[in-house]
Amino acid sequence: MKNIFFLFVFLMLVPFAGLTQNIYVTKYKSEADVVVYITKYKSDADLIVYETTYKSDAKGCSGIWYFTEYKSDADVKIWYTQYKSEANWIIWYTKYKSEAGWRK
């Protein structure tokens, strides 16, 4: 239920962010919008993420993320956790842009 709430909030904020996924990784959990766990298995993921080096590629809620070095440039601030039970989103990184997107 908690994941559905965060997904809803995220999807509601995306139109106001210009339909981009500029991500900033925070040092502290309290600064983050979303707590993220990286899984080893694609089948466990809520979201399959492709990391792009081009800001213009990160559009919509497609799972294509551009990592910014400045918090003020970010649409979403994330914090990585080591515990799956603590995460709002479970992600798996892919090498292929075509695989990116929501699974569940």
The pTM of this model reads 0.78
Lowest pLDDT segment from 3-7, 38-42, 90-94, 99-103? 3-7
Q: Note whether 94 and 40 are within 8 A (CB).
A: no
Structural domain boundaries of the chain? 2-102
| Cα separation, 37 vs 30, whole angstroms | 16
Q: Note whether 4 and 54 are within 8 A (CB).
A: no
| Cα separation, 34 vs 96, whole angstroms | 24
Predicted confidence at residue 104, as pLDDT, reads 63
- How does pLDDT run across 32-71, given as a tens digit for each residue? 999 999 999 999 999 999 999 988 888 777 899 999 999 9
Task: Using alpha carbons, select from 58, 17, 21 the residue that is nearest to residue 36.
Answer: 21
